[in-house]
Amino acid sequence: MLVEEAMHWLAIKPGGLYVDATVGLGGHAVEIVRRLGVGGQFVGLDRDAAALEIARGRLAEFGDKVTLVHANFSQIGEIFAERRLPPADGVLADLGVSSMQLDLSERGFSFRARGPLDMRMDRDMAETAEDIVNTVEEKALADLLYQLGEERDSRRIARTIVRARPIRDTEHLATVVAGARKVRGRQKLHPATKTFLALRIAVNREMEELGQFLSRVPATLSPGGRWVMLSYHSLEDRPIKQCFQRLAREGTLKILTKKVIRASDAEIAANPRARSAKMRVAEKRGPDQHGAPHEKEWLQ
């Protein structure tokens, strides 16, 4: 998503070090590495081993310029310490689910085809969506759907799920949720969209991992280093915005995007999933730039 915009804001230096903390299938990575010259280095992280192998194949032609690591993006600090990496000139994180994860029914991320209720990005993790759907008690399940999916019908949906247990697969869950939802005029989203989102966030502990990532990135950036974040719903965008604003007030970052960057009409037409993408960009201040920034730099 927003590849051209990401490249513009990263402002890649040919000999620099750049990190894609959610490398996925390598779409952004390929464009970054193509812009690196002699001495340039790229490090890609991803928790999904299958996606990482696809990225490895796409990036093989670039040889030792590329290092790929099977790790969660929240581990970025440990990766820098373990590998003794110098401060990065740019860090990118795209928080979206990859097309492979959505389109492969056996991964269980989508309600559009029957598959197991899995939803794990890292398949070494123990807990699946099926565990949550079929074992969590009704009130806790309703709270989860409301807090992580912003689902207004969370209590009704949780009650219906509990009564329908055991939920067998993604198609069964989608049908149960659709039957529990109140119809409010014309529906733009599938009735199960928010339920599936909440379960995916819960299974992968996405909000906890995002919080750790946001706290660790500044220490990995060099002065003048760019930090590009792509998010897809308000639960992700809100902490990113608040983090950037707090670090700008403290004088650590300078916010470069006064308003969020969104996909162009042409990109949305080619890929409707880009409709919800939001990009925010900040730059780490140098030692001579520290101090309270002007108010306009952080009141976004």
Q: Name which residue leads in pLDDT, 187 or 24.
A: 24
pLDDT for 289 equals: 65
Q: Using the 8-state DSSP alphabet, how is residue 261 labeled?
A: B
Q: Is residue 106 part of a domain?
A: no
Q: Name which residue leads in pLDDT, 268 or 183.
A: 268
Confidence of residue 101 (pLDDT cuts 50, 70, 90): confident
pLDDT for 129 equals: 98
pLDDT (average), residues 106-118: 94
Structure-block tokens of residue 48: 């999904």
Residue 187: is its pLDDT beyond 80?
A: no
Which CATH number does the domain housing residue 186 bear? Answer: 1.10.150.170
pLDDT (average), residues 238-252: 98
Residue 296: is its pLDDT beyond 60?
A: no
Same domain flag for 46 and 164:
no
Same domain flag for 217 and 171:
no
Same domain flag for 130 and 258:
no
Query: Residue 300: which of 243, 225, 219, 233 has the closest Cα?
Result: 243
pLDDT for 164 equals: 98
Q: Is residue 292 part of a domain?
A: yes
Q: Which of 203, 232, 266 is a domain's end point?
A: 203
Residue 137: is its pLDDT beyond 50?
A: yes
Same domain flag for 131 and 51:
no
- The CA distance from 186 to 189, in Å, is 9
Confidence of residue 100 (pLDDT cuts 50, 70, 90): confident
Q: Is residue 211 part of a domain?
A: yes
pLDDT for 276 equals: 94
Q: Is residue 35 part of a domain?
A: yes
Same domain flag for 82 and 214:
yes
Same domain flag for 210 and 290:
yes
Confidence of residue 290 (pLDDT cuts 50, 70, 90): low
Residue 294: is its pLDDT beyond 80?
A: no
Same domain flag for 11 and 79:
yes
Which CATH number does the domain housing residue 31 bear? Answer: 3.40.50.150
Work out how many domains the chain is built from and give that number.
2
Same domain flag for 164 and 285:
no
Q: Is residue 114 part of a domain?
A: no
Same domain flag for 127 and 91:
no
Q: Is residue 105 part of a domain?
A: no
Same domain flag for 167 and 20:
no
Confidence of residue 125 (pLDDT cuts 50, 70, 90): very high
pLDDT for 245 equals: 98
Q: Is residue 32 part of a domain?
A: yes
The residue segments making up the domain with residue 26 are: 3-100+206-297
Express as a percent the part of the chain with pLDDT over 70: 94
25-52 confidence digits (pLDDT tens)? 999 999 999 999 999 999 999 999 999 9
- The CA distance from 254 to 294, in Å, is 10
